[in-house]
Structure 1
Amino acid sequence: MSANNDSFGKTIFVAVALCLVCSLVVSGAAVILKEDQQANKAADVQRSILIAAGVVGADEQADFGKLFQEKVEAQVVDFETGDIAKDIAPASFDQRQASKKPETSIKLSKGEDPASIKRRSNYGKVYLLKENGKLSKIVIPVHGYGLFSTLYGFIALEADTRTVAGIRFYEHGETPGLGAEITNPQWISKWDGKEVLNQNYKPSLKLVKNGADQTNEIDALSGATYTSNGVENLVNYWLGDKAFGPYLAKLRGGKHGV
């Protein structure tokens, strides 16, 4: 009986010890690789911005970090005023993290939240591209809920702030073959030249099921109504008065030096 107890105890000891060792190895690897993971994530964001703006193709290989530094100027925007927050360094500002903290964000009511984001940070980051000293593209981060996940992406506008130059979603958890078609190049190409703000500069995007034939319409994703509605809502929200709308108005008025 004693020998059996000793054997059982040794088995438990070995199992616990093995779990502890594995936990330490996994934790250590996570700490060691954290900087590399953050760098890869930042590089993917830069690549997505360049693709949305049409600087590089979706399958093109390049030194994205170098291109980003050469082509893109980041600005932090005060959503309430539309002014540039000159006391906040764009390189260190994380809009997604800011939206999670009560002291750096606001809670949205249901009526204020068509994109279902729940909280909106007080500031946002926008990206400008210039050619020969003149504004060429404005790239705006957008996110909102689809069917199963929050969709994260960028929409690039021409200098008129109304016309789409490109769009790219770089993170989502939608259904493959249905909602996940938001990354399909054929569907993305349908956005080029569409007008997402009307003549009064109000958000006017519509995703329609029966064939898009208006300048503000995009074909909805087949079999993915909730994802399509989510895309429509998130684009209209982030281009509206409660987000980047005031900034875009001042940009058109020449108040941001471009």
Structure 2
Amino acid sequence: MPPKDSLPGTILVATVLCVVCSLAVSAAAVALRPLQAANQKLDQQKNILDAAGIPINEFGKPASQLSRKEIDDLYTWVSEKMVDLDTGDYNTEVDPEKYDLAEFAVNPDTSIEIVNPTIDPGEDRRPKTMKVYFVRRPGSDQLRQVVLPIYGKGLWGTLYGYLALKSDLKTIQGITFYQHQETPGLGGEVDNPAWKAQWEGLQLYNEKGEPSAMVAKGPAPDTDPYAVDGLSGATITSRGVTNLVQYWASDEAYGPFLDKLAEEIKNGSTESSAAKADVKESAINTTANAGDATHG
């Protein structure tokens, strides 16, 4: 072994130290991965609940101020379903528990290229399927809100969030952004509770059925049913939020699904009742099969 104060000795010590530190960091990363995943899931649940306005209505405070048990209890109001964006139909081939929006959006097998969109969200691709969220009070079949994941380019990167619609599917309940790279105090004001509160009650579509909810340039007129105040000093972020909201509300994204959901609500056949019908039919088939086996 070379002397400690020699060049080879110094290199050896440095190498051993680097290897030990690398192993320690790797071990910590592996050990903490489940906790990180759980925290990420919890954060998304909080954003979904906040977009739907449930924590404020039930506890008078945002989800960030609630306990884990309170979040778990409130999230029993939420059911998840995969939706094919092109057809608007429910998709049963993709497991909601294994769905990752960021991965599905870039994988050529699970996404499509956004080409010459009517409203440009600033993204190159979008998933073929999206996970949407239905909000109902436990024990009730009545749909209160539907929460739609949304994303699009801001100034420095992609903003990821949720847009909640009331049961008429035209009125906005709320909006949240759970991940973005916008400048604090400027574009980062998309996280400002006062600014987000302005979205509640806005109309998503105009009288022609065109996506019209937007971020204004400067203060929004009190009589404007489609606009919230612009973000001061953040013109590009404001434009990005407008574009991403309108894009996801268009026929190139959630439009077909919202049309079919509106028809389901009109006919009294929502995702919840349809699921119950499937369960009932399965039970009938199981009973019938058992009877056949008995008689056989």
Report the Cα distance in structure 2 between the residues aligned to 1:110 and 1:86, rounded to whole angstroms: 30
TM-score scaled by length of structure 2: 0.81
Does the Cα contact within 8 Å between 1:136 and 1:159 map onto a contact in 2? Answer: yes
Q: Distance in 1 between matches of 2:219 and 2:33?
A: 46
Q: Which amino acid aligns with 1:8?
A: L
| Equivalent residue number for residue 22 of structure 2 | 23
Deviation at 1:88, TM superposition (A): 2.5
- Contact conserved, 2:218 with 2:232, CA < 8 A, in 1? no
SS at match of 1:143: strand
Q: State the secondary structure of the residue aligned to 1:102.
A: coil
- Cα offset, 1:110, TM superposition: 4.9
Structure 1 position 180 matched with structure 2 position 185: no
- Number of paired residues? 255
* Aligned residue number for residue 96 of structure 1: 102
Deviations 1:166-210 (A, max 9, x none): 111111111111000001111111111001112343211222124
Q: 2:236 is matched with which residue?
A: 226
**Aligned pairs for 1:15-54 within 5 A:** 15-54=14-53
Structure with greater Cα Rg: 2
Contact 1:162 1:198 in 2 (8 A): no
| Map of 2:72 onto structure 1 | 65
How far off its partner does 1:67 sit? 2.1
Q: Does 1:157 align with 2:165?
A: yes
- The answer as to whether partners of 1:154 and 1:168 remain within 8 angstroms in 2 is yes
User: Quick check: 2:3–2:9 contact (8 Å CA) kept in 1?
Assistant: no
Counterpart among 109, 123, 128 of residue 117 in structure 1: 123
Amino acid in the other structure paired with 2:255: G
Higher relative contact order (CA 8 A, sep 6+): 1
1:83 aligned residue: 89
Shift, 1:113, TM fit: 6.6
Match of 2:203 in 1: 195
Cα deviation, 1:35-66, whole Å, max 9, x if unaligned, reads: 11111101110111011101113243132233
Q: Which 5+ residue runs of structure 2 have no aligned equivalent?
A: 56-60, 271-296
Q: Per-residue deviation at 1:74? A: 0.7
1:11: which partner in 2?
10
Question: Which residue does 2:292 correspond to in 1?
Answer: none
Cα RMSD, aligned residues only: 1.9
Higher-helix-fraction structure: 2
The structure whose residues are more often strand, as a share, is 1
Q: Cα distance 1:119–1:9, how it changes in 2: closer, same or farther (>3 A)?
A: same
Q: Which moved more, 1:242-251 or 1:211-220?
A: 211-220
Structure 1: 4+ residue segments shifted above 3 A: 3-6, 110-113
Any conservation in 2 of the 1:205–1:217 contact (CA below 8 Å)? yes
C-alpha contact 2:151 2:158 (8 A) present in aligned 1:
yes
The change in CA–CA distance for 1:50 and 1:5 in structure 2 (over 3 A counts) is closer
Q: Which amino acid aligns with 2:109?
A: E
Distance across 1 between alignment mates of 2:257 and 2:30: 38
Relative distance call for 1:75 and 1:5 in structure 2 (3 A) is closer
The structural deviation recorded for 1:33 is: 0.9
Distance verdict in 2 for CA 1:199–1:30, change over 3 Å: same
Question: Which secondary structure state, in structure 1, belongs to the residue aligned with residue 23 of structure 2?
Answer: helix
State the alpha-carbon separation in 1 of the partners of residues 230 and 39 from structure 2: 32
The DSSP-based 3-state class of the residue aligned with 2:144 is: strand
Structure 1 pair 210–180 and aligned structure 2 pair: CA distance change class (3 A): closer
* CA–CA distance in structure 2, aligned partners of residues 187 and 151 of structure 1: 16
- The answer on 1:257 being equivalent to 2:274 is no
Amino acid at match of 1:208: A
Is the 1:77–1:84 contact (alpha carbons within 8 Å) kept by the matching residues of 2?
yes
In the aligned structure 2, how far is the partner of 1:31 from the partner of 1:177?
35
Partner of 2:135: 129
CA distance in 2, matches of 1:123, 1:194: 26
Closer/same/farther in 2, CA of residues 113 and 215 from structure 1, 3 Å limit: closer
Aligned-residue identity in percent: 41
Instruction: Give 5+ residue unaligned stretches, structure 1.
Output: none
Is 1:139 equivalent to 2:144 in the alignment?
Answer: no
Q: Which amino acid aligns with 1:223?
A: G
Instruction: State the partner residue of 2:284.
Output: none
